[in-house]
Structure 1
């Protein structure tokens, strides 16, 4: 389901992602992981993300059909636009997160390597009589440009990116070969890094063109950067990743995946029925999610480094789980975590085994990215007014 990159891993300084990493077969770094992060925030960097699984949807009913089985509003999605989307189970828990782009009467989907085949199988199973054909496309690969120079100058000219391109806008890439192969496309994604200040431009290209696009863009000034750089900036922007920062109980509200295509979300609150919609609507209108996603700053002096899934405790009580753990070039060791909603921003937290100093570290929540949600949900407020409490 995925297009691996032995060509790009042949780079003399490339170090592959560690065994068991959720991004297999791509570079973890090119010898200077912290410097690569700095390049991504100050000029331009290029990241090989060809571990992503790509699926093609063809047919005249592709968007209306996908609208009925997923969480995003797609019936009016314009040509050359992208959106994030979720597939939920019957209880509203997240099964899949994917990015889609509709361009030239084809919808392209890309998702995590580990979920590519499962998502393709689910989509195929759900076709029934709709005029749509899902097709796994391991011959297509994703490259990602990061940094301010990705939007301007020689790099933007090479990929034919207009100067006024906005997030979730997409367009055709220039032709590299004169044959019947697809040309590929660019799309602008929401920024990552501190306050989302680092621009992100994805390229979805034919796998045979991977080396040529890499050469063209690095010759134009894009510095090679590994997944370490991408992940550090993603975590610093409080952007979750499926099955790292979510677990089998996660609902969309907990990881702030609520919103339409123009809001950077993956769940539109003003659309009709789909699997899991009852939970989404109930939480949005009557309650609050049980957990929230937070950015943790870990004790850099501790020799212990937590891994995904270890417990977060406060006062000896388990209050959450750790997601992605990464070293950031300015903030040191940081992590995303799902913690109970009532955990205060100034709580003294421990990650790992709180009873063992050798297998635990202290942590604090980043207050700048912590949003209080003391507002009463609209449905609850209406009920209170009817009962004379509002």
Structure 2
């Protein structure tokens, strides 16, 4: 990202405020996976059961994502955010406070997922209204980079709370942050000023666009890889060792650095595949480099390409659909990523229980390789954003008039 572009973004009215609000509202996303993993494994003694709970949470989010994105165009952003935030926090608090059988925990995790507030879809739909279209690609890169603060602070905070205090407190803190961040985001002036037009297309039609479908697939694979590696790191060090949180924080810090370094580069059709090749290269080293320093080295390599890849996914979606369809389109891409979390966490959980950490890491590496191959397969349909705006297609356009007779 160029210095001038970054300065223009910082000076744009409301950008820093809405970024801070949405990062706070999304911060529990960086806590819940590990928090539930530690809590459920401690209650049941099984990483497999914990993986099923994480899968239920992610499947609920996946099912609800496109629907809540569509609802924001009908009911408004604020009502949807407020109602979902309250319901989701209540389900998480119930998991923390009550001694439930595994089936009850899975049911509440599914409810939390179904009501998880659609902050990501909302804010990425709002961004085109905050900055000129020429700065939008850089804003997506900045957003993808700064969201790594969630994955730096979240795992560290929840790991130290879970290991130093209790897993119940860790989940309750997540619920409190969900409420506080959601309230701040919903109360932001920028949220009140943006109205998403009702889409005139049938629900799901936007997924037929090849760019949206491919970004959904790529996001699914890369986030499945991340979820598998995250669970593998936790399993490799054990629930009582805070080292896992430190390793995951360094991984996210590398992603943050990569976002700022690579975000300044033009987004070409082949850029996504190259960035994901870097992610896959680092992930492929994880089964062979055990211990703190080995895993840290592998994940620094992998993380350097992660935020740039996620930022490009957002830019490709934004530049390929109409504004009225952006919230639903991001809902589908988020759904792909959340299904990826479910698959990756469950796959790694089973591998940890039956085969050990190296095989669990190998599952994550394979998923990362597949994400790079999927991105390479889509080079022909991806937009070339060098010198182009990443803004959505307007819902209205000038109507050509016939030349006057005179």
Which of 1 and 2 has higher RCO (CA within 8 Å, sep 6+)? 2
TM-score, normalised to structure 2, is: 0.27
Provide TM-score, normalisation by structure 1: 0.28
Question: Which structure has the highest strand share of the two?
Answer: 1
Structure with a larger share of its residues in helix: 2
